[in-house]
A and B are shown apart, each in its own frame.
Chain A
């Protein structure tokens, strides 16, 4: 008996999928290298992995020391989350918070995505940086950093890919693995952070999308009813979305819902099966932990 008798029969990749993958691979225009640097990230253990840096806020239930405001802010901040491009100076200012090593490593690198995104406490910078070599991926203690890999290139069949926030180390060794584990935060949809705003709840995520995706919309629902849909617009194949509740005066145990939907350029909805974040319920856990960092919060992806 051959060992393959244990196994299900082999299959051929369906011809349409086969063609799609090949086209996608050949059209992959991701930067190959950062000019002037050695590209050691293509070592076997890191093959296919892209390093990037994103300033991002994710799930937040902030400290309630400030108490509920006497005059609650409006229920929504306007329909479009995208408030325009970030300047290089703004990016550099955020990078400087990560310490000289990271800042130096990324000096001169052009971001793949750099937008100013509306947030509950005003605009937040969100950016994705191109690959860094392994030895350049070094961070000081931001306390709220993590690593991720850019997902495979979206296709028409799978037009939206989510960046998955890991909770365990990847195949790194030595000091890389040590700091990687240090940066982890086992929370769904991102990180638990505190950015100085005392009263809100927020969820956010970053997608890599195909050209056919025109916009992503997101809203959160509470016992008082759903908030308005907030609109996130893709740029250069990335789209960052966020939603929040202005007054998070909910007791621990309160259930909030999160919904994400997407549309193509014709205004037709993209099938919910193709959207990584499905409608889900998240339970309020309690006050968040204030971060020691005075800077924004970042996700480092590689």
Chain B
């Protein structure tokens, strides 16, 4: 029987590398997909995975991890991943602006060594992200965590540091707005 997240987390809090490995194996794909949906880039998502677990491990070794108040570590990891995604996206925007000041490099075409499937997924995700930009950040976060990452409202509330009712109202308003923008219904995900 697998050890509970809380037990593993307790070991992680004292810098146990086996605990980090266990948490990593359990949630690396959840963080990876969450990061992709936030960044619309599989490459950035990989960077976000590394940054998230690096941060987690540094905090663990430094004795700075908070106790796990929920039964699952996933909400806290996704919250951390969200911060890392924001950092990565800011860096990417800066780099893009800097590059836009330079003339196109004759070598630039060499960048595009991506498979079509990956590009399609990123293009699709970019379209969704474009629609999401019309929503306030609070509503975006609620949709990302509850509708997409399938956290419960309680878990999302914990991750966002707000009341469950606040998550529900943000989710409801965001869902309606997104439905209008995309012409597609968006369920509210788990309510438990």
Q: Which residues does A use to contact B, with CB under 8 Å?
A: 1-13, 17-18, 21-22, 24-26, 28, 30, 32-33, 39, 42, 44-45, 47-49, 149, 152-153, 155, 164-168, 170-171, 186-189, 255, 272-273, 278-283
| Contact (A278, B50) CB under 8 Å given A10-B33, A45-B83 | no
The size class of the interface chain B forms with chain A is: 35 or more
**Number of A-B pairs whose CB atoms are under 8 Å?**
163
Q: Assess the B58–A11 pair: CB atoms within 8 A.
A: no
A-B contact pairs, 5 of them (CB 8 A): A2-B189, A7-B37, A26-B20, A188-B102, A255-B103
| Contact (A11, B57) CB under 8 Å given A1-B185, A279-B107 | no
Q: Assess the A28–B57 pair: CB atoms within 8 A.
A: yes
| Contact (A48, B84) CB under 8 Å given A42-B62, A280-B105 | yes
Shortest Cβ distance from residue B67 to the other chain A in the assembled complex, whole angstroms: 16
Residues of chain A within 8 A (CB-CB) of B53 are 21-22, 25
Q: Assess the A8–B124 pair: CB atoms within 8 A.
A: yes
Q: Assess the A164–B95 pair: CB atoms within 8 A.
A: yes
Q: Assess the A281–B103 pair: CB atoms within 8 A.
A: yes
User: Does B90 lie at the interface of the complex (its beta carbon under 8 Å from any beta carbon of A)?
Assistant: yes
Q: Assess the B54–A28 pair: CB atoms within 8 A.
A: yes
Q: Assess the A188–B101 pair: CB atoms within 8 A.
A: yes
User: Does B4 lie at the interface of the complex (its beta carbon under 8 Å from any beta carbon of A)?
Assistant: no
Q: Which residues does B use to contact A, with CB under 8 Å?
A: 17, 20-21, 24, 28-29, 32-33, 36-37, 42, 46-47, 49-55, 57-59, 61-62, 64, 79-80, 83-84, 86-87, 90-91, 93-95, 97-99, 101-103, 105-108, 110-111, 113, 120-122, 124-125, 128, 143, 147-148, 150, 175, 182, 184-189
Q: Assess the A166–B94 pair: CB atoms within 8 A.
A: yes
Residues of chain B within 8 A (CB-CB) of A166 are 90-91, 94
Select the residue from A6, A166, A189, A281 with max chain B CB neighbours within 10 A: A6
Q: Which of A2, A152, A186, A273 contacts B51 (CB 8 A)?
A: A152
Q: Assess the B32–A13 pair: CB atoms within 8 A.
A: yes
Q: Give Cα A7 to B101, complex, Å.
A: 33
Q: Give Cα A52 to B108, complex, Å.
A: 31
Q: Give Cα A278 to B107, complex, Å.
A: 7
Shortest Cβ distance from residue B181 to the other chain A in the assembled complex, whole angstroms: 11
Q: Assess the B54–A153 pair: CB atoms within 8 A.
A: yes
Residues of chain B within 8 A (CB-CB) of A12 are 29, 32
Shortest Cβ distance from residue B96 to the other chain A in the assembled complex, whole angstroms: 10
With A21-B28, A22-B28, A49-B87 known, 19 other A-B pairs at CB within 8 A are A5-B184, A6-B184, A7-B128, A11-B36, A11-B42, A11-B121, A21-B49, A28-B58, A32-B58, A42-B64, A47-B55, A47-B59, A149-B91, A152-B51, A164-B95, A167-B94, A167-B98, A280-B102, A281-B102
Residues of chain B within 8 A (CB-CB) of A4 are 147-148, 150
Q: Give Cα A186 to B148, complex, Å.
A: 36
Shortest Cβ distance from residue B97 to the other chain A in the assembled complex, whole angstroms: 6
Shortest Cβ distance from residue B165 to the other chain A in the assembled complex, whole angstroms: 20
Q: Give Cα A10 to B28, complex, Å.
A: 12
Shortest Cβ distance from residue A45 to the other chain B in the assembled complex, whole angstroms: 7
Shortest Cβ distance from residue A167 to the other chain B in the assembled complex, whole angstroms: 5
| Contact (A278, B108) CB under 8 Å given A8-B124, A42-B64 | yes
